[in-house]
Amino acid sequence: MSNNTDKPARGRPRTLQREHVLKIAVESYWTDGLTGVSIEEICRRAGVSKPGVYREFGNEDGLKQAALERYQSTILAPLADILTDDLPFEQALRKLTDFVLLDRKAHGLPAGCLQVTTCRSKQTLGKRTRESAHKFSDQTLMGLEQWIDRAKSKGQFAVEIPTRTAALYVDAQIATAMELQQQGVTQKELERVFKLALTVFFEKRRPILDQIFSEFV
Amino acid sequence: MSNNTDKPARGRPRTLQREHVLKIAVESYWTDGLTGVSIEEICRRAGVSKPGVYREFGNEDGLKQAALERYQSTILAPLADILTDDLPFEQALRKLTDFVLLDRKAHGLPAGCLQVTTCRSKQTLGKRTRESAHKFSDQTLMGLEQWIDRAKSKGQFAVEIPTRTAALYVDAQIATAMELQQQGVTQKELERVFKLALTVFFEKRRPILDQIFSEFV
DNA sequence: ACATTAAAATACGTAGCAGTATGAAATTAT
DNA sequence: ATAATTTCATACTGCTACGTATTTTAATGT
């Protein structure tokens, strides 16, 4: 960890900029996948030497975990905020829609979601990276459940739909939208698909919902 | 390609069983991902030598393409059949639901969908594998569109929803369900989420659908 | 000035991978 | 029996990867 604010320390001063490497790492893993780019390649792209990266992040697992965590706390932060802000349900849905439908290509951002691809990866990931991904997944799902429960208690959400089901559904639709965007579906078509998915929450459809969910409980 | 039905040929008789290798390859790529298992590892699992595999499939791209094609024509064939069988829409939906909700773990099948993960892969795939995946994707989407158009013409499908939007939506929901199953969501919860997704096609919801889709066109 | 400390960069060690050269083995043709 | 042919398995080449040993460099302390 950088200690550049304290006393000037003793040995040769550092030149490796942690933030720069981390930024390149997030971008690389986001674009090419966590298993699609090597440390060597990231070093090349960042213009730093390999031992420097190892000194800073320990090993590959450490770098991937740091990159994923940075992605979560920057790119995905708006999403977490929407869930905790306690807005009226329809307003939250609107904000959620804006976030999901953001034209990432036009903003120079990579397509897809690093968090989702990490969770879905079947390949060997380090322990720290895996745990970081799953912890965030669980937190997001909990956030969605609490958000939906609050909406239910305010009469803004169909109580016929089990909370966990709705949370899993919303989570999946968000991931789907990012996936479609990555596949090159037009923004217009993406908007149609996502809004179609959200219609399940809108109209009063007690008869049909009851019919589907009564058999469970 | 095996020529075991003709004359006995000239040289040393083959012992390498193409079908056996292909079966192990499908299973391996399906379980571990197209980039998550090497040819060496597949040879170990199949108990065959590497030059044998190269003689039979050419190169890695050839093996992956053959495995993907076998997966498409066996595992995913029931899906294609449902779309072309021209059943009443609700009956087709029921068959589709049965296919999607099949408990693959209980049947000893790997989780997830090789076709979907191949299309989503950001890593370098061979030309033949990539083309095979995209061709199948396009065909499936076309099949879905024709299926939906037929249902519309029979008055069994809400004409307010653009055909392509509905096709993309169904395709995505199928992929999502397989993804959730792979993530370990219970079969009950999976059923709830998938059936919730399908409710967008059921009840007459002209007002809300018109409101959403009128702004496009 | 000189020792000490810590970070820098080069170069290395080991392992796994895609793909192939090579010689042995098993068959048919003469 | 011997030549020809085809497949087999071992061993090899070249490459890239993760991680580290080693030496050089730039600073501080005495």
Q: What is the DSSP string of B118-175?
A: HHH--S---HHHHHHHHHHHHHHHHHHHHHHHHHHHTT-S-TTS-HHHHHHHHHHHHH
CB contact under 8 A, A199 and B200: yes
The per-residue pLDDT for range B8-29, each reduced to its tens digit, is 678 899 999 999 999 999 999 9
DSSP letters spanning chain B? ---TTSS--SSSPP---HHHHHHHHHHHHHHH-TTSS-HHHHHHHHT--HHHHHHHHSSHHHHHHHHHHHHHHHTSHHHHHHHHS---HHHHHHHHHHHHH--TTTTTPPSS-HHHHHHH--S---HHHHHHHHHHHHHHHHHHHHHHHHHHHTT-S-TTS-HHHHHHHHHHHHHHHHHHHHHT--HHHHHHHHHHHHGGGSS--HHHHHHHHTT--
Question: Which chain B residues are closer than 8 Å to A207 by Cβ?
Answer: 203
B165/A contact by beta carbon, under 8 A: yes
Distance (Å) from CA B7 to C1' D6? 14
Q: What is the CATH number of domain A76-217?
A: 1.10.357
Among A33-37, A113-117, B158-162, which is the least confidently predicted range?
Answer: B158-162
Question: Which chain A residues are closer than 8 Å to B216 by Cβ?
Answer: 188, 191-192
Q: For residues B114 and B102, what is the distance between their CA atoms, to the nearest angstrom? A: 16
Check residue B191 and give its pLDDT.
Answer: 92
The overall average pLDDT reported for chain A is 91
CB contact under 8 A, A205 and B200: no
DSSP one-letter code for A199: G
| Per-residue pLDDT band at B160 (split at 50, 70, 90) | confident
Best of B195, B204, B215 to substitute, by most chain A Cβ atoms within 10 angstroms, is B195
Check residue A160 and give its pLDDT.
Answer: 84
Among A73-77, B63-67, B113-117, B196-200, which is the least confidently predicted range?
Answer: B196-200
- Residue A196: pLDDT over 80: yes
What percent of chain A has a predicted confidence (pLDDT) above 90?
80
CB contact under 8 A, A200 and B196: yes
- For chains A and B, CB pairs below 8 A equal 120
Check residue B64 and give its pLDDT.
Answer: 98
Residues 18-47 of chain B within 7 A of strand C, judged by CB, are: 38-41
Q: For residues A90 and B69, what is the distance between their CA atoms, to the nearest angstrom? A: 45
- Residue B208: pLDDT over 80: no
Residues of chain A with CATH 1.10.357: 76-217
Residues of chain A with CATH 1.10.10.60: 14-74
Instruction: Give nucleotides in strand D with any atom < 7 A to a protein C-beta.
Output: 4-11, 16-22, 25-29
Residues of chain B with CATH 1.10.357: 77-217
| Per-residue pLDDT band at A10 (split at 50, 70, 90) | confident
Distance (Å) from CA A52 to C1' D22? 15
DSSP one-letter code for A14: P
Cβ of A10 near strand C (distance < 7 A) = yes
Answer with the residue of higher pLDDT: B36 or B216. B36
- Residue A203: pLDDT over 70: no
Check residue B203 and give its pLDDT.
Answer: 65
- A188: nearest CA in chain B? B216
What percent of chain B has a predicted confidence (pLDDT) above 90?
80
- Residue B161: pLDDT over 60: yes
Instruction: Give nucleotides in strand C with any atom < 7 A to a protein C-beta.
Output: 4-11, 16-22, 24-29
| Per-residue pLDDT band at B190 (split at 50, 70, 90) | very high
What percent of chain B has a predicted confidence (pLDDT) above 70?
89
Closest by Cβ to B216, choosing from A32, A117, A192: A192
Yes or no: domain B77-217 corresponds to CATH 1.10.357: yes
What percent of chain A has a predicted confidence (pLDDT) above 70?
89
B111/A contact by beta carbon, under 8 A: no
Check residue A1 and give its pLDDT.
Answer: 42
A123, B33 contact by CB (below 8 A): yes
- Residue B153: pLDDT over 70: yes
Q: For residues B143 and B129, what is the distance between their CA atoms, to the nearest angstrom? A: 21
B84: tokens are 């072309």
A82: tokens are 């929407």
Check residue B202 and give its pLDDT.
Answer: 79
- Residue A82: pLDDT over 70: yes
The CATH label, of 3.90.1200.10, 1.10.10.10, 1.10.10.60, 3.40.50.970, for the domain at A14-74 is 1.10.10.60
- Residue A100: pLDDT over 60: yes
Q: What is the CATH number of domain B11-74?
A: 1.10.10.60
Question: Which chain B residues are closer than 8 Å to A181 by Cβ?
Answer: none
Residues B131-139 have a mean pLDDT of 98
| Per-residue pLDDT band at B159 (split at 50, 70, 90) | confident
Q: For residues A112 and A109, what is the distance between their CA atoms, to the nearest angstrom? A: 9
